Chain A
Amino acid sequence: MILALLILIPAAGGLAGFFVTRVFLRRALLLAVAATHIALTGFCWIYRPGSILFGWLALDSVGLLFMTVSSALFLAASIYAIGYLKKEPKEQQDADEGFFFTNTPENIFIACLQIFLSAMTLVCLSRHFGMLWVAIEATTLASAPLIYFHRHHRSLEATWKYVLICSVGIGLALLGTLMLTVSASAIKNNLMLSQLLDNSGLINSPWLKAAFVLFITGYGTKMGLAPLHTWLPAAHSESPSLVSALLSGALLNCSFLGILRLHQVFVFAGQSDFSGNLLIFFGLFSMAVAAFFIVAQKDFKRMLAYSSVEHMGILSLGTGLGGTAIFASMYHLINHSLTKGMLFLAAGNIIACYKTRTSSDVKGILKRIPATGVLWTAGLFAIAGFPPFGLFVSEFTIFKTAFDQGYYFISAIYLALLTIIFAGMSHIMLNMSQGDSGAGREKESALAVIPPAVLGAATLILGLYIPDFLLNLLNEISAIFGAL
């Protein structure tokens, strides 16, 4: 019942959003849906609801974690959206090229945001690989109009790339899903995760491996693993900042969940070496590509997008290593979403004030908009994994696990890439916060500052201490993946 509500409330809100003409009601609806969703998610922490739809939809610990992250980020983004939509003019001039453009009608934007949440919830709850595929593709479709909010040629190019590349990628994952069926032809109901896990001994290994290769290229495309991450920088930099925050902090995780579910089958079948090695390889490769593009990146939103490629790489690497790194990966996922949400929302404030995305044109954020400046600077240290922020704990644990398992070469590369990325990002971001813009101090609205500040505070707290309920959940997940 609760599971059905979690999916249906945002879906219904989205459908209603198309038709509500009163601006106030529309925005109130968005906030109400976001608040209800997180309240229901919170309730699931206390009382884990049973499965529905013949067990196709159920909430396990992995799903609960992913859903909570998405839901929390969605609430922050919706509050930010209220202030953003209020300020956004009907027609405006592009800062870089000087042409005029309009926005997508607000009702479509708000409707798609809620349908997007519904699709992401469906991804988190799916226990059936076919359903999972349908849900992940649905997230692409719901988010495509969000990227095309500012109607001009660059966002159009970004949307086109996004829909085409992601759909082809997810198509490959469908082929992978079919191969999974072939590999498990001895099992009844062979796309149900629970059936696959219970009968993992009956699975035909070569077909399963082929399926995983297609999963990691297919869902990996959407997750942003190199070399198929090419849609990601354009989509993240052209969409409104609150959408970038959701794409980076929630959507990428959802595609990762697709890969993670199949990895779980490998763990149960005792073949996690194969899937783990692939995850390690793609993880490190993504980090390397991200490092290459972050250094000397001119557009600061693109820089954040490449940083997402890097962090998805770290997630993949940690999951591939297994053991304590699984715990660290999941912790990394939470903290990355919080931190990246904060940074993208802060970037939105910077763009609103400076009207540019070129980092060299932005100077003196700390003086001109001090609250955002503090968030931006703190965000740099948080995303780079400095103590006392949460990402320090996870990045360090992954390093330690790699070292303990005897992967000296991998841990050396990992550390080197982290250093290069930190150097690249700090050069860009510190130059933006410091200096003098020549303009006086400007007023910042509470709606634009509080959501990123709360996200930042959350990752700071998680860096200092892990609450018991979260610790239990993460231990539960680690146990599923064979650690401890």
Chain B
Amino acid sequence: MNAADTIMIFLILTNLSLLASSRFNACIKIVALQGVIVGLLPLIAANGPLTIYSYLLALLIVTVKGILFPYLLKHTLRSVNVRREIEPFIGYGASIIIGVLALIVSFWLTTHIPFHDKILSTTAPAVAFFTIFCGLFIIVSRVQALTQVMGYIVFENGIYIFGSALLIEQSFLVELGIILDVFVVVFIMGITMFHISRAFDHIDTDRLREK
């Protein structure tokens, strides 16, 4: 097993443990860990010599996903008076089972897609799809705004893994724009959450209609 496959297994584990955790603190740590792994992925994936841009980009992504996002999320967590996800639409046991099924489907799916020879590892596209699925699943199955933001981050990580898996080289400017946009999305979501918690005393998106 090569380095890339080992990392893929780590990514699968972070996704599954995220599906099983209800405490925000634990979730934030897992999302941060996943962000760091995702940020380092292109460095491991590169066959040829690494350019200064790839180092810069890796540094930027690790900073944003491994430091800034957790900081923002923790900051929001302090301003809201909830510590854990309360009564998600789909329970944690069921979430894990659905996650495992999704993992199987992702692997099955990727065996039917004609990929080029140029690919990071055979498991990588499957893990990318699985991560995207987990992100989307967290967004729709959890009630608290904070968990939904983490779902969005995981979803975005999945897309990023897909890009790295197929060794897609974007131009530096576009990568920069993408990471900036994603950062601002999370930032705006954080501000909105702050207002939600002030207006409602909770961040339960299912109860935003009541006042």
Contact = CB atoms under 8 A, between A and B. Distances in A.
A137 B118 CA distance: 30
A133 B178 contact: yes
B168 A99 contact: no
A407 B4 CA distance: 52
18 contacts: A134-B174, A137-B185, A138-B181, A141-B184, A152-B199, A153-B200, A156-B192, A156-B208, A164-B152, A168-B136, A168-B139, A168-B155, A175-B132, A178-B159, A178-B166, A182-B116, A185-B116, A191-B174
B162 A130 contact: no
A267 interface: no
Interface string B191-211: 010011001100001001101
A168 B178 contact: no
B114 A182 contact: no
A163 B196 CA distance: 14
Contacts of B26: none
A175 B166 CA distance: 12
A97 B210 CA distance: 11
Contact of B208 (A128, A133, A141, A160): A160
B177 A175 contact: no
A171 B145 CA distance: 18
Given A131-B174, A167-B185, A178 B163 contact: yes
Contact of A160 (B173, B181, B196): B196
Nearest to B196: A156
A128 B155 CA distance: 24
Contacts of A99: 211
A141 B185 contact: yes
B189 A163 contact: yes
A164 B135 CA distance: 12
Nearest to B189: A163
A141 B189 CA distance: 10
B148 A164 contact: yes
Contact of A141 (B139, B148, B163, B188): B188
A279 to B, nearest CB: 24
Nearest to A173: B159
B47 interface: no
B211 A97 contact: yes
B192 A174 contact: no
A20 to B, nearest CB: 22
Interface of B: 114, 116, 118, 132, 136, 139, 145, 148, 152, 155-156, 159, 162-163, 166, 168, 170-171, 173-174, 177-178, 180-181, 184-185, 188-189, 192, 195-196, 199-200, 205, 208-209, 211
Given A130-B177, A131-B174, A171-B159, A153 B116 contact: no
A349 interface: no
A145 B173 CA distance: 26
Nearest to B140: A168
Contacts of A141: 181, 184-185, 188
Interface string A141-160: 10011001001111011011
Contacts, number: 94
Contact of B178 (A134, A151, A167, A181): A134
Contact of A134 (B162, B181, B195, B211): B181
Contact of B168 (A134, A140, A181): A181
Contact of B189 (A97, A164, A181, A206): A164
The CB with the most chain B CB atoms within 10 A, among A97, A151, A152, A174, is that of A174
A163 to B, nearest CB: 6
A221 to B, nearest CB: 13
Contacts of B184: 141
Interface in A46-70: none
A174 B208 contact: no
Interface in A344-388: none
B139 A148 contact: no
A258 B189 CA distance: 24
Contacts of A131: 173-174, 177
A299 to B, nearest CB: 14
Contacts of A145: 188
Interface string A433-447: 000000000000000
A144 B188 contact: yes
Contact of B159 (A137, A152, A175, A185): A175
A159 B192 contact: yes
B94 to A, nearest CB: 22
Contact of A163 (B174, B192, B199): B192
Given A130-B174, A133-B178, A141-B188, 7 more contacts: A130-B171, A141-B184, A144-B188, A153-B200, A154-B209, A163-B185, A178-B162
Given A134-B177, A178-B166, A157 B209 contact: yes
Contacts of B159: 171, 174-175, 178
A175 B189 contact: no
Contact of A156 (B118, B162, B188, B195): B195
A-B interface, 4 closest residue pairs, ranked by CB to CB distance from nearest: A130-B174, A134-B177, A157-B208, A137-B181
A148 B192 contact: yes
Nearest to B171: A130
Nearest to B148: A164
B196 A128 contact: no
A130 B179 CA distance: 12
Nearest to A185: B116
A171 B155 contact: yes
B177 A156 contact: no
A160 B168 contact: no
